[in-house]
Amino acid sequence: MARRPDLVGLTVLAMLSVRASHPYELHRFIVDTHKDYVTGLPRSLYHAVERLAGEELIVPVETSREGRRPERTVYEITDEGRRELATRIRALLENPGAERRTFTAVVSLIGVLPVPDALRALRTRAATIEGALAAMSGHLKAMRDSGLPDVLMIEVDYERAVSEAELTWLHQLIARLESGELDWPSTVRQELLGQVLGES
């Protein structure tokens, strides 16, 4: 069985690629931006931070304490962490085989990639889905030609309808990126993170 993607770790890497933060700040950002695919908070987040630090994808850069509060360690992403993040995001964007929850999570983190890389990954996904749709249509036709009743083909028809909807959405997203309507320069990403965390 294929290992499930580490969506919590991926989210931590994505947020730290914007700026160094401590786990409590990351927790607030996840909640405030409704990253609902991140479950088991706050424990899953702290475990992900520990795991990523153990793999040297993130490193502690500062520890501070305010009053009687527990110490807070600020982490930043390493160069290896940035490479790993980009590799994972590209692979999950390109591969339609991942479950839809995973794709939703990855799309929410797409801004960590340069726009040209995101476009390439989305075009690859769209081409794969187009090929799968052609195969499904051929399969449905063969089943109908063999005399099978429609009720025995409902699941294939459903998969085709869902794939067609995703392909339409992908084409719209690609068009928005190609036209420049949607982009994410790093300065804007930094400011947006500050806004979400309530900073000036």
Q: What is the pLDDT of residues 118-147, one digit of tens each?
A: 999 999 999 999 999 999 888 888 888 888
In the CATH scheme, what is the code of domain 7-111+185-196?
Answer: 1.10.10.10
Q: Is the pLDDT of residue 2 over 50?
A: no
- pLDDT-derived band of residue 63, with 50, 70 and 90 as boundaries? confident
- pLDDT-derived band of residue 30, with 50, 70 and 90 as boundaries? confident
Q: 63 in helix, strand or coil?
A: strand
The pTM of this model reads 0.82
Crossing angle (nearest 10°) for helices 23-32 and 186-196: 90
Q: Is the pLDDT of residue 186 over 60?
A: no
Q: What is the pLDDT of residue 12?
A: 93
Q: What is the pLDDT of residue 39?
A: 81
Alpha-carbon span 83 to 57, nearest angstrom: 9
Alpha-carbon span 170 to 188, nearest angstrom: 24
